[in-house]
Amino acid sequence: MRYIEPHGHMVSRVTDDYVDMATAGCAAVCEPAFWAGFDRSSADGFHDYFCQLTEHEPKRAAKFGIPHFCWLCINPKESEDVQLAKDVIALIPDFLDKPNVLGIGEIGLNKNSRNELKILELHVDLAARHNQLILVHTPHLEDKLKGTRLILDVLKSDRRIRPERVIIDHVEEHTIGPVLDAGFWAGMTLYPESKCTPARAIDMLETYGTERIWMNSACDWGVSIPLAVPRTALEMKKRQWTADAIDRVVYQNPLKFLSQTPKFRV
């Protein structure tokens, strides 16, 4: 099997995870910038984090033969402090030329607040001005539907944004339809305690087809499974999916989306 992990927070994982992923056939891992589990107190903290994502982590992944890519932003959870968020966004252009940076992400909303929306718009503007791909985080549980609608409105109202260059992540049964209908890509996150189980993800694939959809583990510092994508591929095999069809979802689809930036190579 070969697969791409399009969303893994590897700075929070141990080297055994890299070994397991390489053994399972991981051809590349992509790491969006996110919340560290605590609020950082200054823009300097983000500067160091961006250095970690663009310089240190690619070297760590390379020891296990896995190409490492990343996305940059201040996550919605820390965007409530508008001045901090603006200071962090001002740091990003200096990092965009780094060879492993794929675009702006994971931006989006957490509690759907006014400040989060303002910072989302600034990130979308940053991506448009620098012609970057976008990866969007959608809120959890009861905030997801409203948040997804708000995010789609922001993206659709900016004429510079081409939907095929944006992936909306953490979709569920009630949000995948509007995302795909609007021409965006949809990401399904395979998470043991929330978000999506393998069975639900495969149900959605069987309902909506395999165009413009990828799956990811979003493994991080919490309870999560770095091998969630290959494990779901095994589940697909049990449900009579052909090897070609599985390969399309776990390898060719992320390859197609990510290859929209020439920096992505496997």
Chain contacts with Zn ion (rule: CB under 5 A): 34, 218
CA distance linking residue 103 with residue 96, whole number of Å: 7
Minimum distance between the CB of residue 241 and Zn ion, rounded to whole angstroms?
26
**Contact (Cβ atoms closer than 8 angstroms) between residue 257 and residue 30:** no
Cα atoms found within 13 Å of the Cα of residue 114, Cβ hemisphere only: 0
Question: Distance between CA 161 and CA 165 in Å, rounded?
Answer: 8
Of how many residues is the chain composed? 266
Q: How far is the CB of 189 from Zn ion (least distance, A)?
A: 8
Nearer to Zn ion (CB atom), residue 106 or residue 165: 106
Shortest distance, position 28 Cβ to Zn ion, whole Å: 16
Q: Which is nearer to Zn ion, 31 or 248 (CB)?
A: 31
Q: Report the residue number, 36 or 246, with the smaller CB distance to Zn ion.
A: 36
Query: Is the Cβ of residue 32 or residue 198 nearer to Zn ion in the bound state?
Result: 32
Our CB check for Zn ion shows the closer of 72 and 218 to be 218
User: Residue 185's Cα: distance from chain center in Å?
Assistant: 11
CB of 76 vs Zn ion, minimal distance in Å? 11
Q: How far apart are CA 255 and CA 266, in angstroms?
A: 8
Least CB distance to Zn ion at residue 32 (A): 5
Query: Which residue number, 34 or 264, has a Cβ lying nearer to Zn ion?
Result: 34
Compute the least distance from the CB of residue 9 to Zn ion, in Å. 6
Shortest Cβ 242–Zn ion spacing (Å): 30
Instruction: Kindly tell me which of 107 and 154 has the beta carbon lying closer to Zn ion.
Output: 107
